[in-house]
Chain A
């Protein structure tokens, strides 16, 4: 049973370009969470999605950032017109549908975004 898969592992973008980060949850998991970890800082919640629904996006910056979790395929975190301050590690986590936060979250290895 594969774990949470994130790709790419490393992503380099120039300022103004778009970044697309993908997350495939564990098999059978329908809840996906995105977190951002800035250098020397803790993990900050960004968005919580279930299939085709955004449940909580209170941690998402109001502009340039969007997330989706379609019925088929991986969850996508999209950052438009990237700036240097977007450089961070972005982690995805998943949990099964029946247990929600009472089940341990399973994290992927993250995507390290560098904006030059």
Chain B
């Protein structure tokens, strides 16, 4: 069974800080891991997908890493901005392609 855990549950930082969000998963036999962003009252936006053969993926100020052996992924956000305020979710696939989500990290970046 796949279980996904995210820490911290909430994070509040001043604008400009670099920050790291953590995700851990129990079943390391994954073929990818995805990070999503969810704004209040909205759906999820895919940020990064890391294939199991990769160790990291980058998109702009975002960098996600994957360590299958330890069952961990991190999302690094550089030079945070107020517009980055949202809930960040990681998800790992299990069995028949379904994604198992963590409970998310609620990020607030204040000016």
Contacts and interface: CB of A to CB of B under 8 A. Distances in A.
Interface extent on A, as a size class?
20 to 34
Given A43-B101, A102-B32, A107 B95 contact: no
B1 to A, nearest CB: 11
B40 to A, nearest CB: 11
Contacts, number: 65
Contacts of A43: 44, 89, 91, 101
Contacts of A55: 96-97
A73 B107 CA distance: 38
Interface extent on B, as a size class?
20 to 34
24 contacts: A33-B98, A42-B89, A42-B101, A42-B102, A42-B104, A43-B44, A44-B101, A45-B98, A48-B98, A55-B97, A56-B95, A58-B98, A101-B32, A101-B93, A101-B98, A102-B49, A104-B46, A105-B34, A105-B44, A105-B46, A105-B99, A107-B44, A108-B43, A112-B41
